[in-house]
């Protein structure tokens, strides 16, 4: 549906199926962790300031390492 980063939906579905297939029915903590992680990626990607913040951070790291912009 265009949420998250490119390829996230396919990766999420594959990882979710794997976690569910290997999960102990009494302990679904790894399934919960996966869903929370994916939710965080969607939230980050939908933030209008996200791309700007990532670009600024990369520029700062490159400058600190003396790398060309």
Interatomic CA distance for residues 28 and 26, integer angstroms: 6
Question: So what's the pLDDT on residue 54?
Answer: 79
At residue 3 the predicted structure's pLDDT band, cuts being 50, 70 and 90, is low
State the pTM of this model. 0.54
**Tens of pLDDT, residues 13-63:** 888 899 999 988 888 898 888 888 888 777 777 777 877 887 888 888 888
Residues 6+ apart with CB under 8 A from 41: 4, 5, 8
| Contact status, residue 69 vs residue 62, Cβ threshold 8 Å | yes
* Interatomic CA distance for residues 18 and 31, integer angstroms: 9
pLDDT confidence of residue 2 = 52
**Are the CB atoms for 42 and 34 separated by under 8 Å?**
no
How far apart are alpha carbons 1 and 16 in whole angstroms? 17
């Amino acid at each position: 549906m265009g949420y998250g980063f490119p390829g996230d939906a396919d990766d999420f579905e594959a990882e979710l199926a794997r976690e569910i297939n290997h999960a102990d029915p009494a302990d679904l903590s790894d399934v919960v962790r996966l869903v929370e992680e994916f939710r965080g990626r969607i939230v980050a990607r939908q933030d209008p300031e996200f791309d700007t913040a990532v670009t600024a951070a990369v520029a700062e790291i490159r400058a600190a390492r003396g790398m060309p912009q």
